[in-house]
Amino acid sequence: MTDIIKTDVVIVGAGPVGLFAVFELGLLDLRCHLIDILPRAGGQCSELYPEKPIYDIPGFPVVTGQAIVDNLMKQIEPFNPTFHFNEQVEGLEVLGTPEAPLFRVTTDAGQVFETKVVIVAAGGGSFQPKRPPVAGIEDYEGKSVFYAVRKMETFRGKKVLIVGGGDSALDWTLNLQPIAERVTLMHRRDDFRAAPHSVNAMRELVAAGKLDLVIGQMTGLKGENGMLSAVSAKDNKNVAFDIDCNAMMPFFGLTMKLGPIANWGLHLHENLVPVDTAKFESSTPGIFAVGDINTYPGKLKLILSGFHEVALAAQRAHHYVYPEKKLLFQYTTSSTNLQKKLGVA
């Protein structure tokens, strides 16, 4: 069994608001673990619009979705948060009392945390992979059909089919090619949305005979007891063919679902967590909700709103972690104490 991780704060979601929460909590000496179902930080900014310019981040006349995430990652470096990617928070159980909160948080990877404070920064919910429209695919999921790579070793010596034309499909094609017995990449047209350098690397491997590229669409699955033996497909002229494989990774994009948050005993309003605007705390003391996942009169789903919310939530969180300590308001410009924590004094 994995060891229980004991911490001050667990942050559910590593979107822009979860990331900035690390900064505000860190200034108050609160240690954080962040958990995200995605393989990287950034939430909607990185997943949905990495290259789009944002014009309403204070102090940045223009910044792209990915650049704001990169800057936030740099800004929180001094606090050395621990990230747990590719893990969905499934369970949240109350162990303590309203005066001295304590929670058990569990993920679908079996990791257990004991924490005094939970910050739910889950945006519109968890990003879930879109399932290809192929009959019976559920029977293969988790056995020979995978939507994410938890361990590359799972694919060693396998005949892997990767389906899709975006960054995830190309990244995993390139990463698994040296490990798998054979990788086949299938896309519905010979035109890829992924980063040009990945597309070039893929084409070089195809030219060298080290990778198969197939243009076509999946139509069915063949196999037994959840183990694939082939994927049926058709080309653009409707000619049917089979691809030999014993593992498949379809990358058909992501959708957002509230997911397990609905089962955490929190009072919800239209799939959002109502909070007060003094502390951004939910109906359960010690559980805060910040960013797109919360609701209150006048709420605007903007990144800057989330940044304000985490600053206030951190003040209350401090009270739960250090009930005996008085909190002094300090500026980063003038407090040598804060500057030491930031590593600049």
Ligand X SMILES: Cc1cc2nc3c(=O)[nH]c(=O)nc-3n(C[C@H](O)[C@H](O)[C@H](O)COP(=O)(O)OP(=O)(O)OC[C@H]3O[C@@H](n4cnc5c(N)ncnc54)[C@H](O)[C@@H]3O)c2cc1C
Among 26, 81, 101, 124, contact with ligand X (rule: CB under 6 A): 124
Among 5, 50, 54, 341, contact with ligand X (rule: CB under 6 A): 54
Q: Which two tokens stand for residue 32?
A: 């954080």
Nearest to 14 by CA among 48, 42, 55: 42
How many other C-beta atoms are found inside a 10 Å radius of the C-beta of residue 311? 16
Among 94, 201, 302, 311, contact with ligand X (rule: CB under 6 A): 302
What distance in Å separates the CA atoms of residue 113 and residue 105, rounded to the nearest whole number? 5
Work out whether 129 is an interface residue with ligand X (CB under 6 A).
Answer: no
How many other C-beta atoms are found inside a 10 Å radius of the C-beta of residue 267? 10
Locate tokens 């198969």: which residue? 212
Among 88, 115, 173, 177, contact with ligand X (rule: CB under 6 A): 88
Q: From the CB of 152, what's the least distance to ligand X, in Å?
A: 21
What distance in Å separates the CA atoms of residue 213 and residue 202, rounded to the nearest whole number? 9
- Applying the rule CB under 6 A, the residues between 13 and 52 that interact with ligand X are 13-18, 35-38, 43-45, 48-49
Q: Which is nearer to ligand X, 23 or 127 (CB)?
A: 127
Q: Which is nearer to ligand X, 252 or 322 (CB)?
A: 252
Q: Which is nearer to ligand X, 35 or 169 (CB)?
A: 35
Work out whether 69 is an interface residue with ligand X (CB under 6 A).
Answer: no
Q: From the CB of 180, what's the least distance to ligand X, in Å?
A: 27
Among 260, 272, 273, 285, contact with ligand X (rule: CB under 6 A): 260
Among 79, 103, 127, 172, contact with ligand X (rule: CB under 6 A): 127
Stretch that binds ligand X, among 125-133, 179-187, 212-220, 277-285 (CB under 6 A): 125-133
Q: Which is nearer to ligand X, 13 or 223 (CB)?
A: 13
- With CB atoms as reference, the residue minimizing the distance to ligand X is 123
Q: From the CB of 4, what's the least distance to ligand X, in Å?
A: 18
Q: Could you tell me the maximum CA-CA distance found in the chain, to the nearest angstrom?
A: 73
Q: Which is nearer to ligand X, 37 or 118 (CB)?
A: 37
Q: From the CB of 36, what's the least distance to ligand X, in Å?
A: 4
Q: From the CB of 280, what's the least distance to ligand X, in Å?
A: 12
Q: From the CB of 267, what's the least distance to ligand X, in Å?
A: 17
Among 104, 234, 279, 301, contact with ligand X (rule: CB under 6 A): 301
Work out whether 118 is an interface residue with ligand X (CB under 6 A).
Answer: no
Q: From the CB of 60, what's the least distance to ligand X, in Å?
A: 11
Work out whether 291 is an interface residue with ligand X (CB under 6 A).
Answer: yes
Q: Which is nearer to ligand X, 66 or 175 (CB)?
A: 66
Q: From the CB of 283, what's the least distance to ligand X, in Å?
A: 18
Report CA dihedral (217, 221, 227, 230) to the nearest 10 degrees: -60
Q: Which is nearer to ligand X, 14 or 228 (CB)?
A: 14
Buried b (16+ CB within 10 A) or exposed e, 142-179: eebbbbebeeeeebeebbbbbbbbbbbbbbbbbebbee
Which residues sit at the interface with ligand X, rule CB under 6 A?
12-18, 35-38, 43-45, 48-49, 54, 56, 88-89, 121-127, 259-261, 291-292, 301-304, 306
